[in-house]
Structure 1
Amino acid sequence: MADGQGGALLRGVTSSPRATFLELFFDLVFVFALTRVSQRLIDDVSANPPDVLRQVAQTVLLFLALWMVWILTAWVTSRYEPERNPIQFVVVASMFASLVMAVALPRAFAERALPFALAYLAIQVGRPLLLTLALRGHPRRSVTRRILLWFTVGAVPWLLGALLPPAQEVLWTLALAWDYAGLALGWPVPRRGAARPSGWAVAGEHLAERYQQFFLIALGETVLVIGLTFSGAVFSSHAALAFTLSFLTTALLWRIYFHRAGHVLAEAIRVARSPGVLGESASWTHLVIVAAVLLTGVGYELVISHPHGGRTPTGWAVFVTGGPALFLTARARFEYEIFARVSRSRVVGVVLLLGLLPLAPLLPPVGLLGLSVAVLAGIAVADTARAHGRPLERPASPL
């Protein structure tokens, strides 16, 4: 009986593969959270030169903590039935704690360190604890117990880092490395082995849709950056041009992502011999894709605010052309995951964008952004020309 009650939480054959309104509601918090990450990156670039790398590293750590929360929630709702009350409670509670993390994020390495750490641990420890209790005697309870144990151990450096400011960066780096090692290795425990997500039974269409939704959230965050920055900038023809080029970049990122591979991700996971393997691999790829979009959005803010400010600082070029280059690199991996190949245009695009970095000091910011747009537009045109008149390619994942 206990096994039956616990099993009722799992997704069944009649469960809808589409994301629920609850999950879309949960994502709203991450629209705000990503704006906090983006704004913090912008502030980092404006910091004193000796502190720039340190500040950026801190922001990356905080972003990775947010991603860990989101990706595990996505896997939970892909494995368990989101319409069940215990799962809905877990998602809503995670949503509130994620909001606390987002609010604390700008000052997470200062006076708001403890609220950030406590909110993170409330999700990562509380979620497997509640699932363990709800599953009762079900065999899958062993997985949630393993995750619970792993995150409980990892809670120690998180709390110590929040309480010991001089050692916070080191302790939180170790804590996050521990958490990501658990995710990558399947939270192994002595005499019980591991339970890697790649071996889980997941709803392929649902998981693919969740990845794509988070990518769209990241694009939405860049639209906010474009609009808010331009509305607060001094109106000029240069600023208007930077505004237009920024929007074109976002539109091109959307076009390049969804061309072919983005459209068949759900089918690729569904027909894969081991859907969990492809699902897990795609999660790491989308982590880099989303990070690249955020970096690109920072470039928008810098260029729109200072479109013709003489030569482009090298640090700005990392965002203006480095962000799209990182996106194309991750998109090439995504293409390989789906089709076991990489288009030549992706490789050429990365080389061209990286080649613009040394030219940055010779160009105004809006000029560098314009060249970046030209490279992305060339890739989009090449994709369209290659696909013209051909049937939609079927997925052939090598994973």
Structure 2
Amino acid sequence: MTEQAASGASAGLWRRLMNGRDPGEEHRAATPLELFFDLCFVVAVAKAAAELHHAIAEAHLADGLVGYLSVFFAIWWAWMNFTWFASAYDTDDVPYRLLTLVQMAGVLVLAAGVPAAFEHFDFTLVVVGYVLMRVALIAQWLRAAAEHPEGRGTALRYAAGIAVVQVGWIARLWAPGMWAGITFVVLVLAELAVPAWAEARGGQTHWHPRHIAERYSLFTIIVLGEVILASLTAVQSAVSASGVSVPLVLVAAGGLVLVFALWWIYFTGAEAHLGSLRTALTWGYGHFVVFAALAAVGAGLGVTVDAATHHAHVSEQAAALSVAVPVAVVMLVLAVLHRLTGTGAVERAVLVLAGAVVVLAFAATPPLFGLGGAMVGMGLTVSMTLAGNLVLSARHARGRG
């Protein structure tokens, strides 16, 4: 490489023009920075799931669920916004990386505030972390507006919409009594409305459909990995405290089969087709439920381990429900999303519905089969639902051939 070429490469690394990526770019894949970014976010997911686990085990379900959904929305929404921005404007130069670092720092601050949010409904540190992430994203959008004339209107709308809502989140810290809940709902709706408003009024950003689908898939794997880690930690603690027992082995085995089957259901069929903004937003927003429910499965598995070793303050039926409910939610929402994006992974919606009902029914069976038997039954039910859809998909493919 000549000295002039090396100088040009170095200059390109320092600063590249943020003029929008090609949405039809071949072989577009997640970057190392995006993967590193995801790992920071899964720390926050793990903290939220751990707090939910403790809340359920201590019979504080209502408070725990409110705290969990509130915190998880902040985590997911900040991740989603960065992911879609990066799909359209990733330059991977020094300013871009530094602003991404600020967002990563913000999510770690948010994660540090999760215990206070659960235990005292004190969201101060969570909001500080969230605002750090959002201010960095506003800076990214302003840079895109300055350097990409074609997308300037959309970029400015994003920056303005995000900024206005962040002022609302800060002001909400002083909302008294019932207004705290009301303002939370209003601000969540405002957040969800910003992309639709910005894209519809200013023109669609150049996000890459296949890149977006891959990013969501990778984050799903990371969340499932967190579920496995949380379950393993719970089992290790139980073995250290009480030793190995048949119920504990059955709970662990049933949980592993369950998580593997859920992974297979997600990664069955063709790549998601995100052909329109409406489809993409519905698919993207629907993943809030998928991610939150998958992480909640990990919390529920921790509760079942506690119940199996008599360290939980809830019944075995309640412990089984803490797994069955999020599993059923994942199955049903994935069925809708698979249908929406034409992946072909769900051939019979009634089969998925029946599987979800049977999973919920197993939550009532611990008095008959024990908690371990109920967990094994859930795992087998999800596996059979998967197998039925695979068989039907294969028949449908042969019929078309």
Q: TM-score, normalised by structure 1?
A: 0.83
Q: Structure 1 residues 387 and 152 mapped into 2: Cα distance closer, same or farther (>3 Å)?
A: closer
Q: Compute the displacement of 1:303 (Å).
A: 1.3
Determine the C-alpha separation between the residues in 2 that align with 1:323 and 1:14: 37
1:366 to 367, 372, 375: 372
Determine the C-alpha separation between the residues in 1 that align with 2:351 and 2:121: 47
Counterpart AA for 2:54:
D
SS of the residue 2:256 aligns to: helix
Question: Where do 1:1-399 residues align within 5 Å?
Answer: 8-12=18-22, 17-47=28-58, 49=60, 52-108=61-117, 110=120, 113-136=123-146, 138-163=149-174, 166=177, 168-183=180-195, 185-187=196-198, 194-195=201-202, 199-233=204-238, 234-237=242-245, 238-260=247-269, 263-265=270-272, 268-269=273-274, 272=275, 274=276, 276-307=277-308, 312-339=315-342, 342-343=347-348, 344-359=350-365, 364-388=370-394
Counterpart AA for 1:264:
E
Q: Structure 1 residues 133 and 393 mapped into 2: Cα distance closer, same or farther (>3 Å)?
A: farther
Counterpart AA for 1:366:
G
SS of the residue 2:308 aligns to: coil
SS of the residue 2:150 aligns to: coil
Determine the C-alpha separation between the residues in 1 that align with 2:158 and 2:257: 42
Q: Structure 1 residues 7 and 372 mapped into 2: Cα distance closer, same or farther (>3 Å)?
A: same
Per-residue CA deviations over 1:133-162 (Å, capped at 9, x if unaligned) read: 453162322222212222222223322333
Determine the C-alpha separation between the residues in 1 that align with 2:376 and 2:232: 18
Determine the C-alpha separation between the residues in 1 that align with 2:170 and 2:389: 49
Q: Structure 1 residues 382 and 43 mapped into 2: Cα distance closer, same or farther (>3 Å)?
A: same
Q: Compute the displacement of 1:73 (Å).
A: 0.6
Determine the C-alpha separation between the residues in 2 that align with 1:121 and 1:15: 35
| Equivalent residues of 1:78, 1:202 under 8 A apart | yes
Per-residue CA deviations over 1:373-393 (Å, capped at 9, x if unaligned) read: 121121122233334577599
Counterpart AA for 1:200:
T
Q: Compute the displacement of 1:314 (Å).
A: 4.7
Once structures 1 and 2 are overlaid, which stretch shifts more, 229-238 or 142-151? Answer: 142-151
Q: Compute the displacement of 1:205 (Å).
A: 1.6
Determine the C-alpha separation between the residues in 1 that align with 2:398 and 2:197: 35
SS of the residue 2:201 aligns to: coil
Counterpart AA for 1:225:
A
Per-residue CA deviations over 1:213-248 (Å, capped at 9, x if unaligned) read: 111111011011111011110222321221121111
Determine the C-alpha separation between the residues in 2 that align with 1:241 and 1:165: 47
Determine the C-alpha separation between the residues in 2 that align with 1:392 and 1:53: 48
- For structure 2, the 5+ residue unaligned runs are 1-14
SS of the residue 2:271 aligns to: helix
Determine the C-alpha separation between the residues in 1 that align with 2:37 and 2:289: 21
Q: Compute the displacement of 1:100 (Å).
A: 1.0
